[in-house]
């Protein structure tokens, strides 16, 4: 799984878990793979990866113009802590 595939997988899993049942991804095996990939990262790698994810998916100028914002990044943060990290 490439870094971009990991980002896309996380985005889809998050979407499903937060109510976007049509556009999200419900796949327990994929979620397990994502958890494994994240757990294999050092703390610094994980911090940088998740920071890039939040920035690119919620905080770019384009995403802000689409209505995303800090509240979405915070919701993502909470979801990651509850669902993907040990």
Is this prediction's pTM over 0.85? yes
- What confidence category does residue 23 fall into, taking pLDDT thresholds of 50, 70 and 90? confident
Nearest CA-CA partner of 5 in 27, 37, 29? 37
Instruction: Report the SS3 class of residue 59.
Output: coil
Burial of 81 from C-beta contacts in 10 A (0-12 / 13-18 / 19+): exposed
**pLDDT tens readout for residues 28-73:** 999 999 999 999 999 999 999 999 999 999 999 999 999 999 999 9
């Amino acid at each position: 799984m490439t870094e971009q595939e990991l980002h896309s997988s996380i985005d889809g899993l998050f979407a499903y878990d937060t109510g976007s049942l049509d556009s999200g991804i419900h796949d327990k095996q994929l979620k397990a793979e994502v958890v494994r990939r994240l757990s294999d990262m050092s703390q610094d790698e994980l911090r940088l990866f998740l920071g890039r994810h939040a920035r690119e998916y919620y905080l770019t100028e384009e995403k802000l113009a689409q209505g995303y914002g800090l509240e979405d990044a915070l919701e993502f943060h909470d979801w990651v802590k509850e669902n993907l990290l040990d």
